[in-house]
Chain A
């Protein structure tokens, strides 16, 4: 029972943080003159209350799973890689560029995914080298690379990959390279399979292989890991490579699996934010690949519902990101449960747990 209690603690903490986030979100809506209750009702009904809504939640979860994995693997190794945003742009554009040559249908998606992973990996190379050999903190370097990616992507969308007929977007991903839809009339594509597959592989790697163990050891206690013979530079480079490849795939599944246009829009409007939201998803999933799956569906559902909430309850959907920020702030506290108990807010939970 106590072991089970230990295992449940992260789950309970995530749930409580979620409630705190939704509570602050309600306060914000209320303060600006909106009624939060109908807004939240629409939000949850639309996102989780129907097959269509659930398919939308899963479709939104697809890139988030991958960017969250990118952050979580870094965090497990003690690296705070917040560059998934830029790596994801590069992956999406590489996947679009992979539609320039003609390739057979079976091979084309695989080549596109591989190129996207490679693009994300390469975009993380310089921050990785700066960290490994110059000691430059990855928070600063990866944010700078996000901005470089932002402007490079603007340039590529407008000048290199631009659709000759519709200047507001890139060329569309070739039919042979698209990820097939799983459910007619929805946005849910085979990309979810790619994302879930990556989560399972990440879990197996981190918890069932020697190199995965070394990565976690490097994060948990760098001094001891170095003493035990784990090469810190190799770990940094390897972890950055995996994170970059995963974030690159996040961009690719979005470009290759999102009807109707299968393209990247100018201003990156259909990509912007997945990298940063992935950090929140990873935190809610407690940086565990299997925890990230439900966390991404939860957050993807909020996003899908938020668009409809804006339509029906007229509440701007961006409030959902503010809610996510509060959730992350709450999860920064290592002893959230104990603090709440000490404040007398959680007496009943104590008896049950």
Chain B
């Protein structure tokens, strides 16, 4: 094995880590406040699409911002339905995913290229060039963000209030914390990070958007959150782990002689099998906020 193989494995791992880590850390924020958003997959898909539109209109930064704005808007609707409307969070999440599937497929049709749209080269986020390869500038961001959120949730007033809402909304309410507003803003913050993750995929990492661009990553991010037990630093570890499994699948296929022996479809299953094994292995050891997924009603 040569160094080139090693560096390509590392590079793909780091790039694949970014969307899962961003979405998972965002979901850690939302779930800490008690809202369980299984619509992450839909947010990734929607913002990969709007990120493409933004990048074409105003360059790579506009693309990333369009993704964040999409996340904020979706998070606002989700928070409105689930925090203020006391809606069923699983159903709202499924609704989001269905909407995203239809909307993005529709949008791609309208743009005239069924199922596929390339971000023009000039509109893609320029990578940081190093002697060992080119890396997306969002990689250092995704590596640093979990530390910031760790500090935010564990060491600041804002974070402790947020966790109080997720753990015991009645007590938080009595203490004068506006439960619904905290839930709305937390889930919006989480959705904004998922939006950044989606725009990253189309504007920076892959350079194009397809109907299947999210490829289950929203759900792998949810599995990462389970793995982390709502601890942001463990969510980063989970993101690195699942990013590694994804790159392993890509990497094995590039090895000479493998394709002839193992069909590509089975190699492509690697990240999903790994997710199942990891989740099945860690579950039972993690503890979640008591009020997670339960709409809060003042008695």
Task: Verify if B132 is at the interface (C-beta below 8 Å from A).
Answer: no
Which listed residue (A148, A280, A332) contacts B272, Cβ 8 A? A148
Which listed residue (B94, B106, B265, B276) contacts A144, Cβ 8 A? B276
Question: Which chain B positions have C-beta within 8 A of A335?
Answer: 85-86
Task: Verify if B99 is at the interface (C-beta below 8 Å from A).
Answer: yes
Interchain CA distance A121-B90 in the complex, whole Å: 24
Closest to B41 in A: A143
B-binding segment of A128-136, A167-175, A250-258, A345-353: A128-136
Question: Shortest Cβ distance from B219 into chain A, in angstroms?
Answer: 4
Interchain CA distance A134-B286 in the complex, whole Å: 12
Given contacts A82-B94, A134-B283, A328-B91, contact A28 B106 (CB under 8 A): yes
Question: Shortest Cβ distance from A265 into chain B, in angstroms?
Answer: 15
Question: Which chain B positions have C-beta within 8 A of A148?
Answer: 269, 272-273
B-binding segment of A101-109, A150-158, A239-247: A150-158
- A135, A140, A321, A339 pick with most chain B CB within 10 angstroms: A140
Question: Which chain B positions have C-beta within 8 A of A135?
Answer: 283-284
Task: Verify if B216 is at the interface (C-beta below 8 Å from A).
Answer: yes
Which residues in chain B, 20-47, are within 8 Å of chain A measured between CB atoms? 38, 42
> 7 A–B contact pairs at CB < 8 A?
A155-B263, A318-B103, A321-B101, A322-B101, A324-B99, A332-B82, A334-B87
Task: Verify if B207 is at the interface (C-beta below 8 Å from A).
Answer: no
- B96, B110, B226, B284 pick with most chain A CB within 10 angstroms: B110
The reply to whether B222 and A144 form a contact with Cβ atoms under 8 Å apart is no
Which listed residue (A144, A152, A328, A330) contacts B219, Cβ 8 A? A144
The reply to whether B263 and A159 form a contact with Cβ atoms under 8 Å apart is yes
What 14 new A-B contacts, CB under 8 Å, besides A332-B88, A332-B92? A32-B106, A80-B90, A139-B38, A140-B222, A140-B223, A141-B279, A144-B223, A147-B272, A151-B266, A277-B98, A280-B95, A324-B99, A328-B92, A332-B87
Question: Binary interface profile of A, 292-327, with partner B (CB < 8 Å = 1, else 0)?
Answer: 000000000000000000000000101111111111
Task: Verify if B156 is at the interface (C-beta below 8 Å from A).
Answer: no
Question: Which chain A positions have C-beta within 8 A of B99?
Answer: 321-322, 324-326, 328-329
Which residues in chain B, 265-293, are within 8 Å of chain A measured between CB atoms? 265-266, 268-269, 272-273, 275-276, 279-280, 283-284
The reply to whether B90 and A139 form a contact with Cβ atoms under 8 Å apart is yes
- List B residues at the A interface (Cβ < 8 Å): 38, 42, 77, 81-82, 85-92, 94-103, 105-107, 109-110, 215-216, 219, 222-223, 226, 263, 265-266, 268-269, 272-273, 275-276, 279-280, 283-284
Task: Verify if A110 is at the interface (C-beta below 8 Å from B).
Answer: no
The reply to whether A136 and B86 form a contact with Cβ atoms under 8 Å apart is no
Interchain CA distance A318-B49 in the complex, whole Å: 15
The reply to whether B85 and A134 form a contact with Cβ atoms under 8 Å apart is no
Which listed residue (B91, B265, B279) contacts A140, Cβ 8 A? B279
Which listed residue (A136, A152, A325) contacts B280, Cβ 8 A? A136
Task: Verify if A331 is at the interface (C-beta below 8 Å from B).
Answer: yes
Question: Which chain A positions have C-beta within 8 A of B107?
Answer: 32
Interchain CA distance A324-B42 in the complex, whole Å: 14
- B222, B272, B275 pick with most chain A CB within 10 angstroms: B272
The 3 A-B pairs at the shortest CB distance, nearest first, are namely: A325-B99, A321-B102, A322-B102
Given contacts A148-B269, A154-B265, A321-B101, contact A329 B219 (CB under 8 A): no
- B92, B106, B283 pick with most chain A CB within 10 angstroms: B106
The reply to whether B98 and A321 form a contact with Cβ atoms under 8 Å apart is yes
The reply to whether B276 and A141 form a contact with Cβ atoms under 8 Å apart is yes
Interface residues on chain A, size class: 35 or more
Given contacts A139-B222, A155-B265, contact A331 B91 (CB under 8 A): yes
Interchain CA distance A257-B31 in the complex, whole Å: 45
Interchain CA distance A253-B39 in the complex, whole Å: 30
Which listed residue (B86, B215, B280) contacts A130, Cβ 8 A? B280
Task: Verify if A276 is at the interface (C-beta below 8 Å from B).
Answer: yes
Closest to B114 in A: A316
Interchain CA distance A159-B263 in the complex, whole Å: 9
Question: Which chain B positions have C-beta within 8 A of A139?
Answer: 38, 90, 219, 222
Question: Which chain B positions have C-beta within 8 A of A136?
Answer: 276, 279-280, 283
The reply to whether B222 and A333 form a contact with Cβ atoms under 8 Å apart is no
Question: Shortest Cβ distance from A73 into chain B, in angstroms?
Answer: 16
Interchain CA distance A328-B275 in the complex, whole Å: 28
Given contacts A140-B223, A151-B266, contact A279 B94 (CB under 8 A): yes
Question: Which chain A positions have C-beta within 8 A of B272?
Answer: 144, 147-148
The reply to whether B38 and A319 form a contact with Cβ atoms under 8 Å apart is no
Interchain CA distance A322-B100 in the complex, whole Å: 7
The reply to whether A152 and B265 form a contact with Cβ atoms under 8 Å apart is yes
Interchain CA distance A222-B87 in the complex, whole Å: 20
Interchain CA distance A109-B15 in the complex, whole Å: 49
